[in-house]
Structure 1
Amino acid sequence: MSNGTTFVSCAIAASITASIAVCAPASAQQQPAAPIGGSAGLAAGGLAPAAASSAQASGAVDNTGADSAEISANSFEARQKVLDQRSEENNDRYAVAEHDCYSKFLVNYCLGKARDKMRVVQADIRKEQLALDGEQRAARARQRDEQAALKRAQDEANAPQRAAEDTRNAQAYEDKQRQHQLDQAQRAAEAPQRSANAQAYQEKQRQHALDQAQRGISPSQAAANSQAYDQKQADFQRKLDEAHRQAAQKAQERVQKQQSFEKKQADAAQHKADVEARQKQAAEKAEQKRQDQLKQQQQLEQQQKQQQQ
């Protein structure tokens, strides 16, 4: 590709994105991309144990890799936009040339010549597109290798902490088992006392029945009194349970209302963002269409001036 075409490509790329300051020529675009963040060696050979055990070193590598990946993605995007722009310009030039050929005497010869010229530029663009696609695949592969290496480094750095946590869990389980054995031994030792307490309770119940008989309360009346007391306690417990259930239900309703409100707020914000994005995209398309029409009109006026001359 000539130097003039290279400078045009650079100007187009600079107008598309302000974050790309250097536009390489076509021969340089076909070369493999440089290692991202200088960490390709780390992805191929693995991280050193000392670096893996240092959390600060891992964080630094992670940040550098992320920044390099972002820069590389921006560079690929800018180069892709340049290729797309060149392809559109090539198609526009061919359409104009095809239109002009119908006003000439040797129409088929003119059309074939214009088609050949268009195909030459198209083949050059295709070659650069294939090179760019290869560089993007290589960059993605390097990024995956770097992420895998960082993950291995983080796992190695966290290995001592996980081992200590496993040791604490095993110790806690053993302590719990010992405490369970102690509780069982204590319950076995307290079994005679519990039996004595049960006998004392039964004796107390018999004495209570004798006392009621002496006071003139018949066994049927005592049973009725006990049943009435039990019914009263059951009614109180039922009312208490119902109150707890209603309180829990109201609390759940409040949580659901809060979640519904938050969801509506989030949906409204997302809808607003979508509308603004669509409006911005429509404005950009309209501006691009106006620029294309203006450019095509200028080309036609220039061609008409050349024909008149």
Structure 2
Amino acid sequence: MFRSPPTTLPTSRFSVALRAAAVAALALAVPLGMPAAALAQAMPASHPAAATPEPASGAASSGAAGFNARQQALDARSAANEYAYGVAVHNCYSKFFVNACLGRARDKMRAVSGKIHAEQLALNDERRSVRAQQRDEEEALRREREAAEAPQRAATDARNQQAFEDKQRQHALDQAQRNAEAPQHAADQAAYDRKQADFQRKLDEARQNAARDAKERAERAQRFERKQADAQQHKADVEARQKQAAQKAQEKQQQQQQRQQEQQKRLQQEQQSD
């Protein structure tokens, strides 16, 4: 059995978002002087926001806050126009002449979009004009401020120039004094250099003398050690010769005693033989 499509959009995140945007469009359009009837025509009759429109309250406020509010209202009207077009397209599929209905819904959406676009262009022009006027006013204020500060700035520049010239003169005086004292400084430097050279010469001589003394002490120590060694060797040689002489004397004495004993034996033998 054939069932005709529903005449209302199904509840979804997209439809809920579009309905919320439509409510915001109506809320913003009322205080900005937008005809509520025009917005109500762009919304479905069953929408709560279209059923109870509030009266307009006057012209848009000026300044950045006013521009922001008007921009939000245009954005909300665009969202509401899209929502209304979506509702109209959905409803067209329940009618007999679907294409004609879709064409009328599209034309209506484009007409509303054209109006919103024209208002967007006008808002952009106003915003640029206000910004240009603000820049002109700021530039005029800047020129006035510079003109008011010109005497003080001139006085400050004069003081700075005077201070610079004083520093330049002082620098020139200091340079002249340094040039005048240059010969004395040169003489003092030469005396200092001579003193340093003399000190260095004495220091070198002291180092050389210390090295020579150390060398002589080392040589004396070596000679003393050689003498000590020679004395020890001489003493050892003497003791060896003395020991050798004592041994020879002892041997000679033993030989003499042996000869005497032999002579006594011969004498005893001769006496016995007689």
TM-score (norm 2): 0.49
Q: Please say which structure displays the higher CA radius of gyration.
A: 2
Higher RCO structure (Cα 8 Å, ≥6 apart): 1
TM-score (norm 1): 0.44
